[in-house]
């Protein structure tokens, strides 16, 4: 079920990317798309009735059902990359504003 929510978020992000003409809103849409993907990745590792994949004194049997820890590790990397891209995107937005004094794509002409 959570995967539907993730895909819905991704669709909202894509819709935002395709319809917005403001560079900041485009960055926000990109982030929504990324968050949707991150939730999707997390959902891949979900196991019904699974416990946290940490071996403790009480949870030390291989017969126990653990959730898949790998997607959690992957999503951490994806989040870091997403933050880096967003930071760079915002820096470029700043230079767009400094050069053209607007954040609307339609008002900028780069020939």
Q: What is the DSSP string of 79-94?
A: HHHHHHHHHHHHHHHH
Beta carbon nearer to other proteins, 3 or 59: 3
Q: Which is nearer to other proteins, 12 or 74 (CB)?
A: 74
Q: Which residues face 66 on adjacent strands? A: 51
Q: How far is the CB of 102 from other proteins (least distance, A)?
A: 10
For residues 58 and 101, which CB has a smaller minimum distance to other proteins in the complex? 101
User: Can you read off the two tokens belonging to residue 53?
Assistant: 């994949």
Compute the least distance from the CB of residue 64 to other proteins, in Å.
18
CB of 45 to other proteins, least distance (A): 9
Phi, psi of 103 (to 5 degrees): -115, 0
Q: How far is CA 15 from CA 20, 29, 56, in A?
A: 8, 8, 45
Separation between Cα atoms, residue 40 and residue 71, nearest integer Å: 9
CB of 74 to other proteins, least distance (A): 6
Contacting positions for other proteins (CB under 8 A): 10, 14, 17, 23, 26, 30, 33-34, 37, 40-41, 44, 70-71, 74, 77-78, 81, 84-85, 88-89, 92-93, 95-96, 99-100, 105, 108, 110
Place of tokens 């959570």: 2
């Amino acid at each position: 079920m959570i995967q539907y929510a993730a895909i819905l978020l991704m669709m909202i992000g894509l819709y935002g990317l395709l319809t917005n003409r403001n560079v900041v809103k485009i960055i926000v849409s990109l982030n929504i798309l990324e968050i949707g993907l991150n939730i999707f990745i997390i959902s891949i590792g979900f196991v019904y009735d699974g416990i946290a994949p940490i071996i403790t004194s009480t949870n030390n049997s291989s017969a126990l059902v653990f959730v898949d820890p790998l997607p959690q590790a992957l999503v951490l990397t994806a989040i870091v990359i997403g933050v880096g891209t967003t930071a760079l995107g915002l820096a470029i937005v700043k230079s767009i504003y400094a050069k053209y004094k607007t954040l609307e794509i339609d008002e900028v002409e780069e020939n």
